[in-house]
Structure 1
């Protein structure tokens, strides 16, 4: 079977997405892809989400932060950004997503919006709620372990 001529091939854009969650979150590529499809389906309907052809190309999630590259059809970038923004949890774990940018190639997306901009995370004990508790500190934000869950705070909340 021959390949299609270049002018008939589908054109793609690559959306760089940063993902943030609690320090103990475990998110994998398969569950992210599934929840992304559900998010697009809920927002745009089945035919609308099929037009986007959302597909996770690259996935990395280490602890509280991660990076994802999502492939989308060239003419559907705005609707894809809306579907990505509607993603608020993955398999019951709350997440925050942010579109870092859009590129025409995977390589350009990796160079511009992904890479070693990882946040430094430090674990320490803090005084919170009248008790000494374990916390994860990253870039001025503090995730405090409270009764098996996490509470978000800033450095100013701890003083």
Structure 2
């Protein structure tokens, strides 16, 4: 079977997505893809979700940070951005999603927007709410463990 001519082939855009979770959260590729499809189906409906065709091309997640490349049909980028932004949890774990940028090729997407999620984290004790507490520190962000659960804080919130 012959390939379609170039002017008849579908055109794609590639969306670079940053992912942030609690440091001990386990987020897998399949679970993230399922969350994307679920979000697109809820926001855009079945027909809109099929038209946008959100497909996860690459995914990495470790130590609370991650990144992904999502393939989207050319004319549906705005709808896809909205669907990606609606993802709030993956397998019951809360996630923060940031669309870093959009590109016309996978290579350009990776070169421009990927590789920023390599921030190292350290475990240390911080002063929070007048007491010494265990925390995981990544740059300016701190995940502080309290009696009632975890709290996200910035370094200026701790002493």
Q: TM-score range by the shorter chain?
A: over 0.9
Could you tell me which residue of structure 2 aligns to residue 108 of structure 1? Answer: 108
Structure 1 unaligned segments of length 5 or more: list them.
none
Equivalent-residue separation in structure 2 for 1:146 and 1:63 (angstroms):
20
TM-score computed with the length of structure 1 as normaliser: 0.94
Aligned to 1:135: 135
Name the SS for the 2:126 alignment partner.
strand
Q: Deviations over 1:81-125 (max 9, x none)?
A: 010011111111111101100011111000000025522312111
How many residues in Structure 1 have an aligned counterpart in Structure 2?
159
Provide the residue aligned with 2:95 in structure 1: 95
> Secondary structure at 2:25's aligned position in 1?
coil
Instruction: Look up the match of 1:3.
Output: 3
Residue pairs, 1:3-152, within 5 angstroms: 3-147=3-147, 149-152=149-152
CA distance in 2, matches of 1:123, 1:19: 20
- SS of 1:4's equivalent? coil
Task: State the alpha-carbon separation in 2 of the partners of residues 116 and 153 from structure 1.
Answer: 20
TM-score by length of 2: 0.94
How large is the RMSD of aligned CA atoms in angstroms?
1.4
SS in 2 for 1:124: strand
User: Which of structure 1's runs of 4+ aligned residues deviate more than 2 A?
Assistant: 127-133, 146-149
